[in-house]
Amino acid sequence: MRITERLLRKSEDLMNRSLVTMLTGAVVVSCLAAAPARAGLNVQIFPPALFRATTTPVYYQGHPSYWYGSRWHYRDGRGWQSYNEEPRYLRDYRTQHETQRHYYGRDSEHHR
Amino acid sequence: MRLLSMTGLALVAGFGLSAAGTHAAQAPSPAGGTSTSSATPAEDQAASELKEHHRHHHDGGVTKFIAMSLDTLGTDDAKRPQIEQLQSDLHAQMAPGREAEQSLQLELADGITAGTVDTVKVDAAIARLTTAADTEQAASLDTLNKLHAILSPSERAALVDKVQAHWEVWRQVNHEEQPGGRERGGRLAELTEEVSLTPDQVTKISAALHTAMAGLSDKFDPKKGEAHVHAFSAAFAGRSFNAKAVTSNANAHLASRGATRMAIFYETVTPLLTPEQRTKLAAELREHANHRAAA
């Protein structure tokens, strides 16, 4: 009887510890996810090398611009920049043209 | 007490998650309109094909990156015929390297089919490729000067950025990627898909590649490539340009180390594949070689 009780208590302790661990994990994740919102930060993702090397840019105001992650990005002397508000020219271009990608697969006519 | 602490944790977690949800809703929405395409950070077909390309083609080094950058430069229609002509000239100037690389790939494909790669023949082919790549920069000087003259400042900036992007991708797949690494999009993951490797084969190949690459005596030095790309970028972005003044030349280094890594990969995996898998892999490598011959 005593052994059974001890086993049950041990099992209960283990369950509680797992639950606490899971909830602590959830707290950490949720706080990390909420941090940018509280700090007013806006995380930007700029077009990576794999994208720039395979995509034709659109030239606007003296910069090659790329539509990536639902925004237009360009690079100037200070590094990568993004338009917070989409310029009309770029918006018109985007709504009238497909983004031009280049494919280098073995069966591509451009493979060389 | 325990119940209280757990309830507290649950409330904090719930509050945090709801705040995160609010942030997502308040984040700048995609610009309006009917977007025809919106690339996401996920690796797509064009990106994975470029990685495969750079894993297999090393003949022109930085000169090759310049030629490839013209594929997506997006100049206006009036300039396009001249740009295409200059790109064609660059390809012609890189022809000796392309032919040397083709013979290397066909040699490797024959070895894969046979079950053993002849390393003496492969090393000789890599040496021919390295010699050819070393001469390509000098052969392309006039073409690069013409290219600079025809492009606007913003097009030059775009080309420089694209050359840097190609270099970044090349360096990632031929140097930074862990030999035998099993990450998604890595060479071993691609091979697994190409020839349907079993989990046991993946484990053995991963270990074998790690050992084979670790024993490589002549390692790739990314600083050499960086110096060449930087020298070209700084010069080409300027108002005047003289290709002869770009004295850094890492083309032979890139060709030699890239081709060696490719050869070691095939030499290492070949004995660990079944005859059917070898046939399939050899056919894919011949496709790489023969497409280049047709270009």
Digits of tens for pLDDT over chain A (112 positions)?
444 455 445 555 554 555 555 555 555 544 444 454 455 566 778 999 999 999 999 999 999 999 999 999 999 888 999 999 999 999 999 999 999 999 998 666 555 5
With beta carbons less than 8 A apart as the criterion, state whether A97 and A83 touch: no
Residue B20: what pLDDT?
Answer: 37
Average pLDDT, integer, range B113-127? 96
Query: How far apart are the C-alpha atoms of B168 and B47, rounded to whole Å?
Result: 13
A102/B72 CB distance under 8 A: yes
Q: Is the dihedral of CA B25, B27, B33, B36 positive or negative?
A: negative
Rounded to a whole number of angstroms, the distance from the CA of B177 to the nearest CA of chain A is: 15
Assess B190–A contact: CB distance below 8 Å, yes or no.
no
Name chain B contacts of A45, Cβ cutoff 8 Å.
Answer: 41
Rounded to a whole number of angstroms, the distance from the CA of A39 to the nearest CA of chain B is: 11
A53/B292 CB distance under 8 A: no
Asked whether the predicted pLDDT for residue B85 surpasses 70, the reply is: yes
Q: CA angle, corner B97, sides to B96 and B100, nearest 5?
A: 90
Restricting to B residues 96-135, those with a Cβ less than 8 Å away from any Cβ of A are 98
Rounded to a whole number of angstroms, the distance from the CA of B4 to the nearest CA of chain A is: 11
A33/B51 CB distance under 8 A: no
Name chain A contacts of B288, Cβ cutoff 8 Å.
Answer: 106, 111
Restricting to B residues 192-211, those with a Cβ less than 8 Å away from any Cβ of A are none
Buried b vs exposed e over B125-157: b needs ≥16 C-beta within 10 Å? bbebbbebbbbbbebbeebbebbbeebeebbbb
Query: How far apart are the C-alpha atoms of A93 and A74, rounded to whole Å?
Result: 15
A104/B49 CB distance under 8 A: yes
String of DSSP letters for chain B: -HHHHHHHHHHHHHHHHHHHHHHHHHSPPPPSS--S--B-SS--HHHHHHHHHHHH--SSHHHHHHHHHGGG----TTTHHHHHHHHHHHHHHTHHHHHHHHHHHHHHHHHHHHTS--HHHHHHHHHHHHHHHHHHHHHTHHHHHHHHHHS-HHHHHHHHHHHHHHHHHHHIIIIISPTT---TTSHHHHHHHHHT--HHHHHHHHHHHHHHHHT-SS---HHHHHHHHHHHHHHHTSSS--GGG-----HHHHHHHHHHHHHHHHHHHGGGS-HHHHHHHHHHHHHHHHHHHH-
- Which residue of B lies nearest to A84 if distances are taken between CA atoms? B28
Closest by Cα among A57, A77, A56 to A65: A57
Mutate to test the interface with A, among B3, B23, B101 (most CBs of A within 10 A): B23
Assess B73–A contact: CB distance below 8 Å, yes or no.
yes
Residue B270: what pLDDT?
Answer: 98
pLDDT-derived band at B162 (thresholds 50, 70, 90) equals: very high
Residue B15: what pLDDT?
Answer: 42
Residue A13: what pLDDT?
Answer: 57
Name chain B contacts of A97, Cβ cutoff 8 Å.
Answer: 36
Average pLDDT, integer, range B97-126? 96
ipTM (interface pTM): 0.83
Query: How far apart are the C-alpha atoms of B129 and B59, rounded to whole Å?
Result: 7
* 3-class SS letters over chain A: CHHHHHHHHHHHHHHHHHHHHHHHHHHHHHHHHHHHHHHCCCCCCCCCHHHHCCECCEEECCEEEEEECCEEEEEECCEEEECCCCCHHHHHHHHHCCCCECCCCCCCCCCC
Rounded to a whole number of angstroms, the distance from the CA of B10 to the nearest CA of chain A is: 6
Q: Which residues contact A61 (CB under 8 A, 6 or more apart)?
A: A87
B287/A106 CB distance under 8 A: yes
Distances in Å between the alpha carbon of A35 and those of B8, B10, B14, B18, B56?
19, 18, 14, 12, 43
- Tell me the whole-structure pTM to 2 decimals: 0.80
A with B: how many residue pairs have Cβ under 8 Å apart?
187
* Tens-place pLDDT, residues B193-215: 999 999 999 999 999 999 999 87
* Tens-place pLDDT, residues B41-54: 446 899 999 999 99
Assess B13–A contact: CB distance below 8 Å, yes or no.
yes
Average pLDDT, integer, range B244-271? 96
- Which residue of B lies nearest to A57 if distances are taken between CA atoms? B74
